[in-house]
């Protein structure tokens, strides 16, 4: 299901798909992979604005067009909040910042060097996606100028036109991941910490959500603890990059935590198999199909994998890497 016309790379002719949420929050489709797959959020308050993540270089024309459509001047953008530096979230940061004269880019200390000089990050991602797919997905990843970067640690407070945003360290999906708590509006921008929930997979019982264990820093205990920490703020809404707003957060948190336990079981059981990667893929897809059926979904396996195939592959890679790391930690030889 590809869009009828491929997104234009020209800012003048980009047509942003914008979803208007409450409290000055907007989701702009990042036009990554397909519509409805990745959302960059804009928070607007008292004439000032912030981006939560940037998408890729290909997203940037759509983000600039969205600013124009929303009547936000480029010099009114105070912050680019990079929740983590996976390239679907941050690959466009260098390019976007070159259009935003006043924006400071907030990054966890572990991510700063990789955004100022993305060469290692690019090489690692090429390893995950393959060089050809990488080029199509991300193009030339530009560095973020050092003087625009602010290195932010746990509990960093950020003021957006008088709106207080609290940045909390939420490892588990990535070691350097932070989430943004907008306490006054009972909202959290969790990006990948609170999983992935595509609107196309919504069921009669509400949103369907899956854990992301993509390479290479998945840690089940950290992720579970981070989800508990997000829930300690009792958020009404959580905004995900994949894809945007979810509500009914206690139900979703419980689903995520039980999936994390299943991921661990699947990974450990697959460890004894000759092809651990494929055995993880099969077991994970079966689990997701079963959960969808329990939620009243009538989608076929083909329709489900149309949306989840990319995550299934990345999750399997991430779990294999997690098991290797554990073996190393135990001092056991690698397989």
Closest listed residue to residue 323, CA positions, set 285, 280, 290, 293: 280
Instruction: Please report the DSSP string for 66-91 in residue order.
Output: HHHHHT--GGGEEEEE-S---HHHHT
CB of 169: closest distance to Zn ion in angstroms?
Answer: 15
As a residue count, the chain comes to: 335
CB of 8: closest distance to Zn ion in angstroms?
Answer: 26
CB of 290: closest distance to Zn ion in angstroms?
Answer: 25
Q: Which of residues 262-281 bind Zn ion (CB under 5 A)?
A: none
Residue 190 tokens read as 């969790």
Nearer to Zn ion by Cβ, of 160 and 252: the residue is: 252
Residue 69 makes CB contacts below 8 A (sequence gap 6+) with: 16, 18
Q: Which span sits near Zn ion by CB under 5 A: 80-88, 287-295, 298-306, 318-326?
A: 80-88
Number of residues that bind Zn ion (CB under 5 A): 2
Q: Does 192 bind Zn ion (CB under 5 A)?
A: yes
Nearer to Zn ion by Cβ, of 125 and 297: the residue is: 125
Nearer to Zn ion by Cβ, of 24 and 92: the residue is: 92
Q: Does 53 bind Zn ion (CB under 5 A)?
A: no
Burial of residue 244 (CB within 10 Å: 0-12, 13-18, 19+) is buried
CB of 89: closest distance to Zn ion in angstroms?
Answer: 6
Nearer to Zn ion by Cβ, of 27 and 90: the residue is: 90
Neighbours of 199 (CB within 10 A): 15
Nearer to Zn ion by Cβ, of 31 and 192: the residue is: 192
* SS3 track for 12-36: CCCCCCEEEECCCEEEEECCCCCCC
C-beta contacts of 131-135 below 8 A and 24+ residues apart: none
The distance of Cα 321 from the centroid of its chain, to the nearest Å, equals 19
CB of 33: closest distance to Zn ion in angstroms?
Answer: 14
Q: Which of residues 99-138 bind Zn ion (CB under 5 A)?
A: none
Q: Which span sits near Zn ion by CB under 5 A: 33-41, 82-90, 104-112, 301-309?
A: 82-90
Nearer to Zn ion by Cβ, of 29 and 192: the residue is: 192
Q: Could you tell me if 199 and 243 are in contact, meaning their C-beta atoms sit under 8 angstroms apart?
A: yes
Q: Does 245 bind Zn ion (CB under 5 A)?
A: no
Among 41, 58, 86, 169, binds Zn ion (CB under 5 A): 86
CB of 120: closest distance to Zn ion in angstroms?
Answer: 16
CB of 125: closest distance to Zn ion in angstroms?
Answer: 11
Nearer to Zn ion by Cβ, of 170 and 297: the residue is: 170
Beta strands in the chain (DSSP E): 18-21, 25-29, 39-45, 48-52, 77-81, 104-107, 149-151, 156-160, 163-169, 178-182, 187-189, 237-240, 244-247
Q: Which span sits near Zn ion by CB under 5 A: 81-89, 98-106, 282-290, 327-335?
A: 81-89
Name the site residues for Zn ion (rule: CB under 5 A): 86, 192
């Amino acid at each position: 299901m590809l869009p009828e016309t491929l997104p234009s790379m020209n800012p003048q002719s980009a047509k942003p798909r914008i979803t208007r949420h409450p409290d000055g929050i907007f989701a702009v489709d990042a036009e990554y992979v397909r519509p409805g797959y990745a959302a960059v959020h804009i928070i607007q308050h008292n004439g000032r604005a912030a981006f939560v993540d940037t998408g890729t270089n290909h997203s940037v024309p759509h983000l600039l067009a969205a600013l124009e459509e929303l009547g936000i001047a480029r010099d009114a953008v105070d912050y680019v909040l990079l929740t983590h530096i996976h390239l679907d979230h941050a690959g466009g940061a260098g390019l976007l910042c070159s259009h935003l004269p006043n924006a400071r880019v907030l990054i966890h200390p572990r991510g700063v060097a990789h955004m100022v000089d993305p060469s290692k990050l690019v090489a690692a991602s090429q390893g995950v996606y393959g060089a050809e797919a990488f080029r199509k997905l991300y193009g030339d990843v530009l560095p973020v100028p050092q003087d625009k970067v602010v290195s932010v640690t746990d509990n960093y407070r950020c003021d957006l036109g008088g709106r207080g945003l609290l940045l909390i360290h939420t490892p588990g999906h990535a070691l350097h991941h932070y989430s943004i708590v907008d306490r006054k509006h009972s909202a959290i921008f969790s990006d990948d910490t609170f999983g992935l929930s595509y609107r196309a997979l919504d069921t009669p019982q509400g949103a369907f959500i899956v854990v992301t264990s993509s390479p290479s820093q998945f840690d089940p205990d950290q992720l579970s603890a981070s989800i508990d920490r997000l829930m300690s703020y009792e958020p009404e809404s959580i905004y995900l990059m994949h894809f945007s707003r979810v509500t009914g957060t206690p139900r979703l948190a419980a689903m995520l935590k039980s999936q994390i336990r299943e991921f661990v079981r699947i990974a450990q059981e697959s460890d004894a198999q000759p092809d651990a990667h494929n055995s993880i893929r099969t077991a994970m897809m079966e689990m997701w199909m079963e959960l969808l059926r329990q939620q009243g979904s009538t989608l076929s396996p083909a329709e489900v994998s149309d949306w989840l195939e990319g995550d299934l592959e990345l999750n399997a890679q991430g779990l294999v890497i997690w098991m290797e790391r554990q073996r190393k930690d135990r001092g056991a030889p690698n397989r």
